[in-house]
Amino acid sequence: MEWHQIQYFQMVAKTQHITRAAEQLSISQPALSRSIAKLEEELGVQLFDRKGRNIYLNRYGEMFLNRVEQSIKQIEIGKQEIRDEIHPDHGTISLAFLPSLGMSIVPEIVSSYQNQYFNVKFHLTQDSTKQVMEQLKSGNVDLALIALLHDDKDIVWEPLLTEELFLIVSVDHWLASYDEVDLKMIAKEPFISFKDGYGLRTIIHHLCNEAGFSPNIVFEGEEIGTVSGFVGAKLGVSLVPDLQVLDKNKVKLIHLKHPRCKRDVGVAWLKDSYLSPVTKRFIQYVKHLF
């Protein structure tokens, strides 16, 4: 069964006249008759009752026409969805991001973008660095806002901003009176880190190694709020960016002199993947935003 047979059948059902249908379709009457006959042969039933020059849909034809019209409608919807997707003022942006970026950066970006392009929709996913990268590589999302930990030949990454990482201690900690310290000063302190797969864990371990020690990890959390809570309860220290979720009545943020503690956040996409116009526009938007 071919698509043109479906279209021919629909026109004949509409006109209930072979000659008029052929004229509407700009094909010869014999060609149209052969197409309908071939369709009926494939279905194993006649779709029309013929009376002289006129033909009429029978019950099989009515059943088939109902499904044909539903299918054509869905195809037209699909075509319109694709047209919307490739229009830079419409479509959907599929974006994955880190939990720590969901506290201010991502909501602000999405809000400001939709205020400017109100027909654009977002499909948003929040997860660990490992999971975000897997979603990006599998094609489940088009873009990711992440701190790239190492070069990846399959990923294009454009830097957007640099976040300072602070040492956080409880307000009663012996280091709380300092505004700036070297990272090696916490070498023997119990450390509150992040679970495997989270980018901050990798960055923290790299920075501690650079300072000449391995952190004494006593707990691994998934969210900065949880890590901050454990630090505020005097259970250890940690390294985090300055975020609103931090309870500064319970924790003190301290600048680090050496090594320089930071993470670079950027927008990433799969190399050589198709990016719709709306997605390309969004990339340019965030690059100019920071």
Q: What is the pTM of this model?
A: 0.71
CATH number, residue 225 = 3.40.190.290
- Please give the helix or strand (H or E) that residue 144 lies within, else none: strand 143-147
Give residue 50's pLDDT: 85
Check: CB of residue 82 under 8 Å from CB of residue 74: no
Do 110 and 196 lie in a common domain?
no
Give residue 194's pLDDT: 97
**Last residue of one domain, picked from the residues 51, 85, 119:** 85
Check: CB of residue 262 under 8 Å from CB of residue 207: no
Domain count, the chain: 3
Check: CB of residue 103 under 8 Å from CB of residue 244: yes
User: CA–CA distance from 67 to each of 6, 36, 43, 223 (Å)?
Assistant: 10, 16, 13, 51
CATH number, residue 66 = 1.10.10.10
Residue ranges in the chain whose pLDDT is less than 70: none
Check: CB of residue 151 under 8 Å from CB of residue 122: no
Give residue 273's pLDDT: 87
CA pair distance 168, 246, nearest whole angstrom? 9
CA pair distance 123, 106, nearest whole angstrom? 12
Do 133 and 220 lie in a common domain?
no
Give the amino acid at 278. V
Do 227 and 184 lie in a common domain?
yes
**Last residue of one domain, picked from the residues 29, 61, 85:** 85
CATH number, residue 148 = 3.40.190.10
Do 186 and 122 lie in a common domain?
no
Do 275 and 253 lie in a common domain?
no
Give residue 104's pLDDT: 84
Reduced to 3 states (helix: H, G, I; strand: E, B; else coil), residue 152 is: coil
CA pair distance 264, 163, nearest whole angstrom? 6
Q: Which residues pair with 155 in a beta bridge?
A: 270
CA pair distance 156, 139, nearest whole angstrom? 14
CA pair distance 290, 130, nearest whole angstrom? 25
Q: Is 98 left (phi over 0), alpha (psi -120 to 50) or beta?
A: beta
Identify the residue whose tokens are 């699909």: 78
**Last residue of one domain, picked from the residues 62, 85, 108:** 85
Reduced to 3 states (helix: H, G, I; strand: E, B; else coil), residue 241 is: strand
CA pair distance 95, 126, nearest whole angstrom? 9
Strands 121-126 and 92-97: parallel
Do 259 and 275 lie in a common domain?
no
CA pair distance 196, 220, nearest whole angstrom? 8
**121-156 pLDDT per residue, tens:** 999 999 999 999 999 999 999 999 999 777 788 999
Do 72 and 8 lie in a common domain?
yes
Check: CB of residue 138 under 8 Å from CB of residue 94: no
Do 49 and 192 lie in a common domain?
no
**Helices and strands: H and E segment counts in the chain:** 9, 12
Do 164 and 138 lie in a common domain?
no
Give residue 148's pLDDT: 76
Give the amino acid at 86. I
Do 172 and 148 lie in a common domain?
no
Do 80 and 98 lie in a common domain?
no
Q: Which two tokens stand for residue 159?
A: 């830097």
Do 256 and 282 lie in a common domain?
no
Instruction: For residue 215, give its domain range.
Output: 160-263
- Phi, then psi, of 92 in degrees rounded to 5: -125, 135
